[in-house]
Amino acid sequence: MQQQKRQPELVEGNLPVFVFPTELIFYADDQSTHKQVLTLYNPYEFALKFKVLCTTPNKYAVVDATGAVKPQCCVDIVIRHRDVRAAYYGVIDKFRLQVSEQSQRKALGKKEIIATLLPSAKEQQQQKEEEEKRIKEHLAESVFFEQTLCQPENRTASSGPSLLTVFLGVVCVAALMLPTSGEMESLVPLYLHLSVNQKLVAAYVLDLKNSHTKLNSPVQK
């Protein structure tokens, strides 16, 4: 009975597809980024066939666009951008990765990957730095607002950090200890892998909380 219930679910194409990364960014001024690698994971007990489709196949070259992945293994798929021109800056293309069982033709699952060509990696880095600066300023304003509202009436009664400060500190430290997205040799599940931006936010919060604790510590006479 379990096999009869499972088979229709697979045929309907509901099988989750695990691929990293889910977004490809090519930089016109950095030739090393013109080749990107997709990693397809197969956590299942059966082998999978895969096929890579693209909305603009004339702009890309896909090495091994079709193939197979053994159970509980992974495979790398190389994608090269072969038509780098200014007219394509900012244009979003899509790849679709379809998987199926070895004995079936119908796709059991699919995953879409976004591909974008940008003019310069330096400009993108500047935008990231500006965004991180805005996040830091926003967090600083939030901490100041929290400090103003939660300021105790009797300063002598508060001799240590608040429970909220301790809790946020523990959460930020735990986030920084988790592996970064893209680390393959980690035993931690993939859904616990954090991006670089998420870790930056955690680092900012931890740094601001430490500064807040030092400022509110009583001066020993």
Out of 33-37, 129-133, 163-167, 206-210, which region has the weakest mean confidence (pLDDT)? 206-210
CB atoms within 10 A of CB 194: 18
Could you give the CA distance from residue 84 to residue 117 in angstroms, rounded to a whole number?
A: 8
SS3 145: helix
Structure-derived torsion over alpha carbons of residues 39, 43, 45, 48, reported in degrees to the nearest 10: -30
Identify which has the larger pLDDT, 38 or 140: 38
pLDDT for position 4? 43
Which residue blocks in the chain are alpha helix, DSSP H?
2-11, 121-149, 163-177, 196-215
Q: What integer is the mean pLDDT of 96-110?
A: 89
SS3 212: helix
Per-residue pLDDT band at 153 (split at 50, 70, 90): low
pLDDT for position 191? 67
User: Is a pLDDT exceeding 70 seen at residue 219?
Assistant: no
Could you give the CA distance from residue 72 to residue 44 in angstroms, rounded to a whole number?
A: 6
- Residue 191 has φ and ψ, to the nearest 5°, of -70, -10
Pairing of strands 48-54, 92-101: antiparallel
Each residue's pLDDT tens digit, 116-130: 999 987 766 666 667
Identify which has the larger pLDDT, 42 or 160: 42
Per-residue pLDDT band at 8 (split at 50, 70, 90): very low
Spell out the domains of the chain, with CATH numbers in brackets. 18-121 (2.60.40.10)
DSSP state of 84: -
Q: Kindly report the pTM of this predicted structure.
A: 0.52
Q: What integer is the mean pLDDT of 135-150?
A: 71
CA-to-CA separations, 60 to 72, 151, 193, in angstroms, rounded: 29, 58, 29
DSSP state of 194: B
Query: What percentage of the chain reaches a pLDDT higher than 70?
Result: 69
Nearest 5°: CA angle at 115, between 110 and 121? Answer: 150
Tokens coding 149: 């509202």
CA-to-CA separations, 188 to 41, 72, 192, in angstroms, rounded: 15, 16, 7
User: Is a pLDDT exceeding 80 seen at residue 12?
Assistant: no
The whole-chain average pLDDT of the chain stands at 79
Each residue's pLDDT tens digit, 167-187: 777 787 777 777 777 666 666
